Amino acid sequence: MLVGGGTELNDSWSWNHTPYQWAVDQSANKRVAIIAFGESSDPEWLPDYFMSLGASDAKNFIINNTDSAQSQVTYDTLMQYDMFFFKGGDQSNYYSTYKNSKVTSAMTDKFYQGGVISGTSAGMAIISEIVYTAESGTLYPDQALENVNHQNITLEN
């Protein structure tokens, strides 16, 4: 489940309600791992919100350094969840820290086991095979359309 971004709200009328509900409904064990790079993208209400959507468990995980991302304990813990939800933030941080890590292995392994992989904003951007890393800074759609060779178009595998 990939959704754009913007402010999430704990309300049934908010843009996030329908896609987040769908993702929980697809999860076999209804356990949601909310993965964020930084504290600022870690709303305290989100686990309770996923629980209100039918999750049996939901927990915030701040994984913001290489040691945590490469940890077997991190991998083993994440594999106990059936839905991974990657929060927004700075996708260059996610990319540089999670590339070829145990977090990426857990995401791939869980997907092939039938788990739900989801994300919003930067969390959405890092899930695909080809990733816009934003390593050179922000690029807006009109800038990319004007110049497909813009220096801020940074794509990586």
CA distance 114 to 124: 18
Distance (Å, rounded) from C-alpha 103 to C-alpha 110?
A: 10
Give the per-residue pLDDT at 41: 60
Give the pLDDT of residue 40. 65
DSSP helix/strand/coil, 14: coil
- Looking at residue 84, its pLDDT comes to 97
C-alpha–C-alpha distance, residues 61 and 39, integer Å: 10
Residues of the chain with pLDDT under 50: none
pLDDT digits (tens, 9 = 90+) for 73-97: 999 999 999 999 999 888 889 889 9
In the structure encoding, which two tokens stand for residue 72, read together? 């077997």
CB-based contact 119:126 (threshold 8 Å): yes
